[in-house]
Structure formats: C-alpha cells, structure tokens
Amino acid sequence: MTGATALDAEGLAHLRLIRSPRIGPVSFRQLVERFGSATAAIEALPMLAARGGGKPALADPHRIVTEIDAVVRAGARYVMLGREGYPALLAMTESAPPVLIVRGDLALLDRTAIAIVGARNASAAACRFARMLAHALGEAGVSVVSGLARGIDTAAHQGSIERGTVGVIASGIDIAFPPENAALQERVASEGLLLAEQPPGTEPLARFFPSRNRIIAGATLGTVVVEAAPRSGSLITARLAGEAGREVMAVPGSPVDPRAQGCNLLIREGATLVQSADDILEAVRPIDPRALRSPAVPFGSAPPGDADAGERAALHRLLGPVPVAVDELIRQSGATPAAVQLVLLELELAGRLERHAGGRVSLAD
C-alpha cells in the first residue's frame, strides 16, 4: 500500500489541509466544524482567504503522496482526529493534533495514562526514582508517557517498557533523537507506542518541542515532574496539563539543588506532592478512563451566521501588532463569538493574523 491508496479521499483531504501553510490545529478544527469535512473546507479556502484580503496556500498534492509513502516505508500509520483510534483524552483538548503518525499499540492510551517528565541533566538519584516510579505504575496497569529525551524521560521509558510505555517525539517518526536513544526509541515503537506529529524526515527543531509537550499533557490524566529548573520545558508540560484540566504532580527536592526548584515551585502553587506511585494512583483513580470515548460525531455542527460589514470593520480596527485575547475582541466588538472566529479565520488564511498562546491573536508583521 503506497501513496494515495493508503488513505481514502477524505483522509487525503484531512492530511492536505493540516499540511497547508497558515493552518494549525485550531484553524483546522474551526474549518472542519464550519464546513463539515476537510474536503469541503479545502473548497471554501479561496473564498475565505479572499475575504481576509489574501490568497489561499494549499499543500502540494505530490508532497502529500510523498509523505504517505514515507510513512508506509517507516512501518507507521496515520491516526486522524475525529476518526476511529484517535486517543480520546487528547481529542478533548482545544489544540489536539489533527494528524498523528504512530507505530505500536494504540490501546495503551485506552488505559489510565500518566506522563513522567523532568530534567535532561537529572541527578542519578532522580533518574533512579523516576525509573522505580514508572515500573510501579506499569505494575498497576498504568501506561507511562514521556518524550524520549535524555535524563528523566529515558528513565521513565526504561522503567515501564515491559508493562506499557508511550513515547512522543518532536521529530519525524523515522528520526531518533537524541541519537543515543535510537535503540530505546525502536524498542518503544515495537513493544509500546511511538507518536509523532511531524512528517517523516523532520528534524527535532526547538519550535517542535512545545508542540510535543502539549501531546504528552493532553494524552494523559496527569503529569508528574521529577526534577526541573524553573524555566524548563517540563514546567511547560505541567502548565499545559493544568490548562487541560488534568492533574499536575511533582516530586519534591532539595531547596539547594537548582534542578529541584521547578518541582518545589509547582508544589507551592498547588501541585500534588508525589513520593510514591500510590500518591499518583490516589490522585487519578477517581477518573475512570473507560468513561472516555472518542465522540460519535467527530466535529460539532457548523457555527451559525456570518459576519456583516460592520462587524468586520470593528474587528479590523481592534486588531493590531500587540496580542489580544479573543474574548476581549468579542466583548469590545459586540459581535457573536461565531462571527469573530470566522473573521479571525479569514485573516489567518490570508496570512494577516498570528495566533499566540493563551487564546490571543495579533496582526501579522
């Protein structure tokens, strides 16, 4: 099975839409909810971009076929938002990746899943504790999710590999990073589950790691941080978990060790203090993963109405180079949320709008 034969027509449109410039997870979801399918959304792009004052940019169909061939050669497969097999917990998040490329057993994410993350330059004691914690969770039937980085991530995978581990990487499914974890990554793919959002051949650039972190946080019931500096990527994962309504947990450390300051800060701010696997299980056991199912209807019905000329003019006046919350635009413009989202989507497709963290937007430079 190669090229276009690996996906049906709607699957091809789904992949082409998310691989197109100016379309991210949020705008993808808005397009498919408004028009009912990726195929219909692609047909509507010229009209929407023209309203926003620009021209649409669509991914080259030949590049899509080339990507599919690479996925097949890597022994991987696609899982798409709104379709069977997509992780139910991850699908509930606002920025869920429209497409995942996977190797391994997706059923591991049907079980209770916990993320264990932490410092790359972790101490030997912290790595040992993370490995023991992951092993104990695995023995309790919990899938352990981490990012295959050096340090705590590596220890978490090593401790859970025999009972169920899930690796989420910032590169393509065929790229091992760091290189010394190539054997571990292959073992995760063959004995557990390996997930990638980026196309095959993509190197793990710095800008892809926050995207990877949101998958780790979104696919699990809770995130445990084991050693982390105050500005580390692990704290980003913890913040994303909290924003998604998931449990945030941390292992306390010595106040004189800079690597423990992030964990101690999380605990001070309300994170659950973790000293054993039982602490984690007690925090998340009230949430039964069997109650979580992918929605029967993949996307909601199309938002009603449209934006009139007055609403468009008001929103254009309110937007500027400084990021502003979408809720504030709704309040000040007096337009309906659906109308505001439509105008913002049009500007984004035209290349005139940028989206920022925290539901904020600004005019593009």
pLDDT of 148 over the 70 cut: yes
Q: What is the mean pLDDT of the chain?
A: 91
- Give yes or no: residues 121 and 257 share one domain: yes
- Give yes or no: residues 66 and 110 share one domain: no
Task: Tokens 């659906």: give the residue.
Answer: 338
- Give yes or no: residues 153 and 254 share one domain: yes
CATH code for the domain in which residue 228 is found: 3.40.50.450
Residue 12 falls inside a structural domain: yes
Residue 299 falls inside a structural domain: no
- Give yes or no: residues 125 and 52 share one domain: no
- Give yes or no: residues 181 and 246 share one domain: yes
Among 234, 260, 291, the domain-final residue is 291
pLDDT of residue 168: 98
Cis before residue 56, ω within 30 degrees of 0? no
Residue 152 falls inside a structural domain: yes
pLDDT of 365 over the 80 cut: no
Tell me how far apart the alpha carbons of residues 125 and 283 are, in angstroms, rounded to a whole number. 24
Residue 97 falls inside a structural domain: no
Strand ranges in the chain using DSSP code E only, listed in sequence order: 77-80, 99-104, 113-118, 143-146, 165-169, 193-196, 222-226, 247-251, 272-273, 324-325, 353-356, 360-363
For every residue of 260-299, DSSP letters joined together read GHHHHHHHHTTPEE-SSHHHHHHHHTTS-GGG----SSSS
Tell me how far apart the alpha carbons of residues 141 and 146 are, in angstroms, rounded to a whole number. 16
Would you state the structure tokens that stand for residue 144, as one six-digit string?
Answer: 């352990």
Residue 17 structural domain: 3-85
pLDDT of residue 305: 60
- Give yes or no: residues 78 and 109 share one domain: no
CATH code for the domain in which residue 339 is found: 1.10.10.10
Residue 303 falls inside a structural domain: no
- Give yes or no: residues 164 and 226 share one domain: yes
Residue 92 falls inside a structural domain: no
Give pLDDT tens digits for 95-145. Answer: 999 999 999 999 999 999 999 999 999 999 999 999 999 999 999 999 999
Are the beta carbons of 111 and 141 closer than 8 angstroms? yes
Give pLDDT tens digits for 336-364. Answer: 998 999 999 999 999 999 988 778 999 98
Among 261, 291, 321, the domain-final residue is 291
- Give yes or no: residues 176 and 36 share one domain: no
- Give yes or no: residues 119 and 266 share one domain: yes
Vertex 306: Cα angle to 303 and 310 (nearest 5): 140
In this structure, are strands 113-118 and 222-226 parallel, antiparallel, or unpaired?
A: parallel
pLDDT > 90 fraction of the chain, expressed in percent and rounded: 79
Among 85, 118, 133, the domain-final residue is 85
Tell me the average pLDDT across 162-183.
Answer: 97
Tell me how far apart the alpha carbons of residues 288 and 111 are, in angstroms, rounded to a whole number. 9
Count of domains forming the chain: 3
Are the beta carbons of 227 and 252 closer than 8 angstroms? no
Residue 95 falls inside a structural domain: no
In this structure, are strands 247-251 and 272-273 parallel, antiparallel, or unpaired?
A: parallel
pLDDT of 299 over the 60 cut: no
pLDDT of residue 55: 86
Of 297 and 173, the structure prediction assigns the larger pLDDT to 173
pLDDT of residue 1: 46
pLDDT of residue 300: 52
Of 221 and 257, the structure prediction assigns the larger pLDDT to 221
For every residue of 123-162, DSSP letters joined together read -HHHHHHHHHHHHHHHHTTPEEEE---TTHHHHHHHHHTT
- Give yes or no: residues 138 and 233 share one domain: yes
SS3 assignment, position 49: helix
Tell me how far apart the alpha carbons of residues 46 and 48 are, in angstroms, rounded to a whole number. 6
pLDDT of 244 over the 60 cut: yes
- Give yes or no: residues 287 and 327 share one domain: no
- Give yes or no: residues 41 and 115 share one domain: no
pLDDT of 4 over the 80 cut: no
Tell me the average pLDDT across 325-334.
Answer: 93
pLDDT of residue 285: 80
Residue 213 falls inside a structural domain: yes
SS3 assignment, position 116: strand
Question: Is the pTM here over 0.75, yes or no?
Answer: yes
pLDDT of residue 310: 87
